[in-house]
Structure 1
Amino acid sequence: MRFGSMKLLPPIGLLCFAVYFYYLFFTLTPSQPLHLPEFVSTINQSSLSASTLPVMAVDEKLCDYSNGKWVRTKRGPLYNGSSCVKIFKNRNCLSNGRPDSGFLHWRWKPSECHLPRFDPNIFLQLISNKRVAFVGDSLSRNHLSSLLCMLSTVSKPKIVHHRGSHWWLFRSHNAILSFYWSPFLVEGDQRKIPGPHYNTVYLDRVNMRWARDIDQMDMIVLSFGHWFMVPSVFYEGGKVLGCMRHPVSNCTVNIGFGGPIRRALRTALNSIIERKIGKGNNGVDVIVRTYSPSHFEGSWDKGGTCSKTKPYAIGQRQLEGEDAQIRMIEMEEVENAKKRAKKLRGFRLEVLDVTKLALLRPDGHPGAYMNPFPFANGVPKVVQNDCVHWCLPGPVDTWSEVLVQMMKHMARVAKE
């Protein structure tokens, strides 16, 4: 979400902010609870050995899936708002009354290669006997919700309540998907209403909510960014490093968002290297998903909308400004981390670059249909819009299509 040069909001603005960010704290609705003791006894049993899996062909070279265009397709998504109970109500656009469904009939066509349709069975084969953790903000949860919906078409997961997270156990493949709410990746307190109107972020301290479980993770998907765009006070080494948009009068150094985002990602990646690899444990695959741009037409807190019904064509929208800067920082930090860890065995780090393909989909957000039937009683004076998250089903499903190709590639590299 791009907040522009936002100053302290007046009371009505604070109220809007509170309502909007209420949606960022929803947790995925568990459909079939499973108590932890039962889960532990189950996961300790190797219910599906690698030898029972069919042999899969893997790509010889990882394609650049980030460049391409959206093309029409007659095929619909693998799931819908009725078949998947894991969709947040405020992401279930069609069930909330969105009148057009054309946004569902586009597929991403990379410039260099073919991107296969998502195959839930292949994905489950790739994560057999593994634990995959999604770490980040509500867009990370948006992505995982989409993935769970697609996987549920072939295998129903069980929910496990774990400290600081939710785990989904796929008994059919002895695999776990999990989500850890960590919008900064490092330690921090989000702005609240009522309460401090700014974030407090400790850039050199990894968030232990997820980091304490690193030893149990075989694959980690990191993604963040949007929470760094609001007023914040940043700490490093126990001292105030600077601020974002001067949230407090005694913080005179405005350091913007670029430096803090870089430091936070570096701290997170270093923590994985030190905790997972430095102690001689098994290897780990790490995926850094790049920034997903928002599409507010106008200010997010002043009635901004996202009413387009088609993707942008090539050349209509360029990657620039804050979107380009955040993506560049993420790409650079991944390359730096690869250099730091190049002598370590079993550490594989790649970028899931979705920024460009997401940039071209202004039609894929809930918009006003984050709420059920917002115009049922006419057009209200104020219509709240969500131009940050993605409808389910929707363009976010494509992220997993790219992810599974990356996983196939990483599996081949691991065998070399």
Structure 2
Amino acid sequence: MGLVRLAYTARFFAGFLVMAKVVYGSQLEDSREEGGGHGGRGGCDIFKGRWVYDETYPLYDARNCPFLGRGFDCQKKGRPDGQYLKYRWDPDACVIPRFDGRDFLERSRGKKIMLVGDSLSFNQWESLTCMLHAAVPTSNYTLVQSGLLSTFSFPEYGVSIMALKNGFLVDVVKKDFGRVLKLESISAGERWKGSDVLIFNSYHWWTHRWDYFQVGGKIIKGMDHMAAYEIALTTWANWIDSNIDPLKTKVFFQGASASHLNGSEWNQPKAKNCYRQTEPVEGSIYPGGPHPGEAIVKTVLRRMKQPAYLLDITLLTQLRKDGHPSIYAGGSQKLMDCSHWCLAGVPDTWNQLLYTVLVGH
């Protein structure tokens, strides 16, 4: 049995490495030479494309996902339209496989997959658990929540899908005078070790007001948040390079997910936010221009000794002004959520692209 599992593990990682070279390896080479961007020498960029209407979507029925919560089930919360459920991501030069949850579980037997980040990581985690449950609805599962960690497991397959809340990745400490973001310190990394697949995310919280930052041994106030973000991501990247063996653990970084708070960005200046948006932006170009976090993420990943695979979701989320909960996040209609995503919905595509990479299509 040990030899069989060892052989299977070897095939799993070999498939990953082949896919990384075909789909993304050339992107890394070009980005090192050209300072960032998409494309490659004959490679296919699965993150460049457009949304197309597809009657076979969504990939699952949220009503049959018993653990979906936290305001992501927009239909349950009263959203009257359903067209946003019917869009499929269509890369310009690729045909990507439809998500196959049973195949995902078979290929992941005995493995631990951990998503680390803010509530958008949880958005992706709930999407993935719903997609897998829909594929094997009669398979027993366990769901355990312990502090900041949520663990969804299929005992039949020995697979665990974990979500660990950590919005900044670097340390946050409370002082008498306020909260301090320690941009050059990571103490939570021990919890990241031992996973077969790690998927990190950090951007959304960096756009919020903050009290104090610690860098270079000094505590300061009023620091540029994007400068702080780059320092923190560099700290994370150095930690990964020093502590994670790329032959044992595959590391992904989820690119910045777009919010939609200003209709001028998609040529609808009368729209104050995402409310009542029912269709994606047409085409494959977002009128609002590049996302402020996009270049920082790519720059930091290029500097790594073993670059994490970038799940470059920025463009595909920019185009989906219609996919947010808006007032259908639960609670009061005064709450406008144009940052997270309805489920079923956009995060399902993040997991489809993750699947595309892992299975080596």
State the TM-score, normalizing by the size of structure 1.
0.70
Contact 2:60–2:130 under 8 Å retained in 1? yes
Letter of the structure 2 residue corresponding to residue 140 of structure 1: S
The answer for unaligned runs of 5 or more in structure 1 is 1-44, 243-250, 342-347, 375-381
How big is each residue's C-alpha offset from its partner over 1:137-191, in whole Å with a ceiling of 9 and x where there is no partner? 000000110000000121443124556412222212212111111000111159x
For 1:189 and 1:91, the matched residues in 2 are separated by 30
Aligned to 1:326: 293
Aligned to 2:259: 294
Query: Aligned with 2:153: secondary structure?
Result: strand
For 1:93 and 1:273, the matched residues in 2 are separated by 39
2:318 matched to 1:359? Answer: yes
2:18 matched to 1:49? Answer: no
Name which of structure 1's ranges 162-171 and 397-406 shifts more when overlaid on structure 2: 162-171
Aligned counterparts, 1:91-240, within 5 A: 91-153=72-134, 154=136, 155-162=139-146, 164-188=148-172, 200-208=180-188, 211-232=189-210, 233-240=212-219
For 1:143 and 1:226, the matched residues in 2 are separated by 14
Letter of the structure 1 residue corresponding to residue 282 of structure 2: A
Aligned to 1:258: 226
For 1:319 and 1:64, the matched residues in 2 are separated by 21
Contact 1:199–1:231 under 8 Å retained in 2? no
Letter of the structure 2 residue corresponding to residue 184 of structure 1: F
Contact 2:121–2:201 under 8 Å retained in 1? yes
Report the Cα offset of residue 212 of structure 1: 1.3
Report the Cα offset of residue 202 of structure 1: 0.6
Report the Cα offset of residue 82 of structure 1: 1.5
Could you tell me which of 59, 63, 68 is aligned with 1:82?
Answer: 63
Aligned to 1:371: 330
For 1:224 and 1:215, the matched residues in 2 are separated by 18
Aligned to 2:281: 312
Could you tell me which of 387, 402, 406 is aligned with 2:338?
Answer: 387
Report the Cα offset of residue 383 of structure 1: 2.5
Query: Aligned with 2:328: secondary structure?
Result: helix
Aligned counterparts, 1:258-277, within 5 A: 258-277=226-245
For 1:81 and 1:199, the matched residues in 2 are separated by 38
Aligned to 2:355: 404
The CA RMSD over aligned residues, in Å, is: 3.0
Report the Cα offset of residue 96 of structure 1: 1.1
For 1:162 and 1:385, the matched residues in 2 are separated by 29
Contact 1:50–1:128 under 8 Å retained in 2? no
Name which of structure 1's ranges 359-368 and 117-126 shifts more when overlaid on structure 2: 117-126
Letter of the structure 2 residue corresponding to residue 98 of structure 1: R
Letter of the structure 1 residue corresponding to residue 215 of structure 2: E
Letter of the structure 2 residue corresponding to residue 230 of structure 1: H
Report the Cα offset of residue 316 of structure 1: 6.6
Aligned to 2:269: none
For 2:168 and 2:329, the matched residues in 1 are separated by 24
Change (3 A) 1:163 1:93: closer
Aligned to 1:345: none
Aligned counterparts, 1:277-288, within 5 A: 277=245, 283-288=248-253
Aligned to 1:24: none
The answer for unaligned runs of 5 or more in structure 2 is 24-43, 264-271
For 2:100 and 2:148, the matched residues in 1 are separated by 30
For 1:49 and 1:283, the matched residues in 2 are separated by 14
For 2:314 and 2:93, the matched residues in 1 are separated by 17
Contact 1:199–1:230 under 8 Å retained in 2? no
For 1:89 and 1:257, the matched residues in 2 are separated by 28
Give 1 or 2 for the bigger CA radius of gyration: 1
Report the Cα offset of residue 106 of structure 1: 0.8
Contact 1:186–1:203 under 8 Å retained in 2? yes
How big is each residue's C-alpha offset from its partner over 1:173-229, in whole Å with a ceiling of 9 and x where there is no partner? 212111111000111159xxxx98x75311111141xx1123311111000111111
State the TM-score, normalizing by the size of structure 2.
0.80
Letter of the structure 1 residue corresponding to residue 302 of structure 2: E
For 1:52 and 1:212, the matched residues in 2 are separated by 27
Contact 2:261–2:274 under 8 Å retained in 1? yes
Aligned-pair identity (%): 28
Contact 2:181–2:213 under 8 Å retained in 1? yes
Contact 2:62–2:130 under 8 Å retained in 1? no
